[in-house]
Amino acid sequence: MTIAATLGYPRIGPKRELKTALEAYWSGTSSEAELHGTAAALRRSAQARQQASGINHIPSGDFALYDHVLETACAFAAIPEGYGWSGEGPPSLATLFALARGARGTEAERAAGIPRDAVALEMTKWFDTNYHYLVPRLSAAMRFRLVANRWAEAFSEALAEGRRTRPVLVGPVSFLLLSKREDGGHPLDLLPSLLPAYAEALRGVAEAGAAWVQMDEPFLVTDLPPGAAEAYRTAYRTLAEAAPGLNLLLATYFDRLADNLPLAAELPVAGLHVDLVRAPGQLEPVLAALPKDRWLSLGLVDGRNIWRTDLRSALAQARRAAEAGFARQLMVAPSCSLLHVPHSLTPETELDPALKRRLAFADEKLREVALLARALDEGEAVIADALAESDRVLAEMQADPRLSDPAVAARLAAVTPEMERRRSPYPQRAKAQAARLRLPKLPVTSIGSWPQTAEVRALRARLARGEMDKNAYEAAIERLTAEAIRWQEQIGVDVLVHGEFERNDMVKHFGEQLSGFAFTRHGWVQSYGSRCVAPPIIWADVSRPAPMTVRWSSYAQSLTGKPMKGMLTGPVTMLQWSFARTDIPRETICRQIALAIRDEVQDLEAAGIPIIQIDEPAFREGLPLRSADRPEYLRWAVACFRLASSGVRDETQIHTHMCYSEFNDVIAHIAAMDADVISIETARSDMELLQAFLDFDYPNEIGPGVWDIHSPRVPSAEEMAGLLRRATSRIPAERLWVNPDCGCKTRGWPEVKAAMANMVQAARRLRAELV
């Protein structure tokens, strides 16, 4: 019998119930018991949905209150000092959330002994996705041990509901490679001390009654660092011996195994999962390399995008595997966890019907998996109607004349190399900009957005419901914008932003004004913790019918004599943070978006906006996992940014912003983007990320973030000044800016006003010291 399986399921709930529960708990309006009750209900509901859809291997332990990597670290006692954990027993929620968000000085934190200055762990992207994980901080002094077997508990919880699930763990090698050492060593050196804790976890899962355990090892699809191959051999030899009756499924996803295939095939595990959506070409090598006594899990349904599966093509791949000797040991599954797609299409009643027919969210993907498994066991005829529907929808999409716009194609064909270059090199531009802007040393600015308060959200909701006309809405937004500008002037910010009160999301706001985009009402996915996003759908050619931001930037600039930044989202991020069409190359989509942004940049300049920021936080996220694939991506990603930004005069200053990424391996290409100023996230890493810019001798200006806005704590002026001192020891002060790590839309006004005032004071202290 073919096993229908899933690797993971969305955590947040169809109506973002987890977000609501977390934020209620953090605000003190609900209890720990209520939070755990909501979490348990979400787990039960998720597993029931999968079971009802025909899934045989339902995951457990894939749920997390904030982040699965963080909860793995806590389960194995990988908790740095200073977070209120006694060293015995499971850590409290106060400790968990202090690690995730930093201390806030709450009563629960004080009771747990958590100091008010405890900072959040560093946060970065989960491989090449927009999900963020917390980076464990490890050291040789840590005594790894199992203090909470969250996987055995999750299995037992499901078993009590009558479901025998497949616990999911981050594998030990990937866990270490996702971590950082505080003491300067290599994380893999800690494997011998970590493995006994993993072995104990697996024994506990086996004793609870589990037959299978999924070990996620996504690093197997990357270029492994020295020592990793032997680490895998040691780890899985140890784990196989620890629980000999337990079937281990080695799960790989996001790319191809390639040169790591022989290693994966030799490991003593019961089965191997491979991603055949991102890497369909690896099927034949896997069939040849994997011993025929192993189970083969085929990732045939896209876990990263929302387009429905070509069932006939996927079934052909599955049949090929069955015919190659795996017929009795075959699993069908999504390519990866469904964490990265929304819950269900059912509530999306306002989508274009033809477009909706082409989509599949998590629940629809479950049914696709079950259909494929059934067809393998019972024959194609049993899913004949589903195959015919899949064929019809695919043909309908291919024939849809709305997908292509001849005018967009003509513009792309007319792009010249000169359109991707600024008129003058940076040193010449810097002189023209300095003469125009007349900024002090260490100019203070922010990344763009101010808090999206309940008032702002209520205004937007009233407009959408027709309870407020456009004129009244815009008058209210003008009032909020004017208040924000007066406050920035009062505290001494040097380069102002209008606050983006009229915007719902940094991608959606632009997509709603561009052709080729569609939007869901309930298509939420988790970015980190309680932060959810509803990615747009790029379904047709992209163009800009009219200016998008000029009205609000011009209004804001009219209220102040200080420079105002025009705020745009860059083409790479627009692409990465959308569910993009798959019928044309991603480069083509990105270049279409770049031309639309270029038009907006030129209109902002014509309106007198002296500084234009084109955010590209997803630039590093889009980097392929394999080094051999990176040059091609970097070529077009850099070119698209330059196409968007290069149509301005020398005196117009172009900024960009990047966050929550490692920059070392792309720093030369960031420099090649040729932005006049780049702002980056560095507060959580204690300026560690700035080292890449120093080592490379980054030539342009840079604003290293000195306030982690994803944490609710407010750093003091002296703390920020300390970070700036580190920055000035690495980068000349003449090329440094002072700013937060990211935009402030998720924070509240009291903490924003306090932190920004401290930031201005920190900059003034450093200016005085540098005289």
For 581, the 3-state DSSP assignment is coil
CA distances from 296 to 4, 103, 324, 331, 371 (A): 12, 45, 11, 6, 18
Cα separation, 70 vs 139, in Å, equals: 16
The answer to whether 338 touches 362, Cβ cutoff 8 Å, is yes
The tokens describing 437, both together, are: 């802007």
DSSP state letters, 174-222: HHHHTSEESSSS-GGGGHHHHHHHHHHHHHHHHHHT-SEEEEE-GGGGS
| Cβ neighbours of residue 147 closer than 8 Å, sequence gap 6 or more | 74, 75, 76, 77, 88, 89, 90, 91
Angle of helix 311-321 relative to helix 362-378, nearest 10 degrees, comes to 50
Cα separation, 433 vs 651, in Å, equals: 4
Helix (H), strand (E), coil (C) string for 680-737: ECCCCCCCCCHHHHHHHCCCCEEEEECCCCCCCCCCCHHHHHHHHHHHHCCCCHHHEC
CA dihedral 230→236→239→241, nearest 10 degrees, is -100
| Cβ neighbours of residue 358 closer than 8 Å, sequence gap 6 or more | 307, 308, 393, 396, 397, 539
The tokens describing 769, both together, are: 């010291």
Identity of the residue numbered 258: A
Q: Which of 589, 613, 617, 605 is nearest to 647 (CA)?
A: 605
Q: Which of 112, 93, 115 is nearest to 30 (CA)?
A: 93
In a 10 Å sphere around its CB, with 0-12 CB exposed, 13-18 middle and 19+ buried, how is residue 732 labelled?
A: exposed
Identity of the residue numbered 136: P
The answer to whether 525 touches 129, Cβ cutoff 8 Å, is no
Q: What's the DSSP call for residue 569?
A: E
Cα separation, 96 vs 86, in Å, equals: 13
Cα separation, 264 vs 251, in Å, equals: 10
The answer to whether 268 touches 224, Cβ cutoff 8 Å, is no
DSSP state letters, 647-685: SS-TTSEEEEEE-SS--GGGHHHHHHH--SEEEE--TTT
Lateral strand order in the sheet of 611-615: 565-569, 611-615, 653-658, 677-680, 701-704
Cβ count near 366 (within 10 Å): 26
Question: Has 498 been annotated as catalytic?
Answer: no
Cα separation, 210 vs 222, in Å, equals: 30
Cα separation, 174 vs 252, in Å, equals: 11
Q: Which of 635, 633, 626 is nearest to 279 (CA)?
A: 626
Cα separation, 728 vs 708, in Å, equals: 19
How far is Cα of residue 294 from the mean position of the Cα atoms in its chain? 33
The answer to whether 24 touches 33, Cβ cutoff 8 Å, is no
Q: Which of 92, 138, 135 is nearest to 114 (CA)?
A: 92
Cβ count near 330 (within 10 Å): 23
- HSE at residue 632, side-chain half, CA atoms within 13 A, is 8
What share of residues in the chain are helix, strand, coil (percent, to 5)?
Answer: 45, 15, 40
- Residues with a known catalytic role: 710
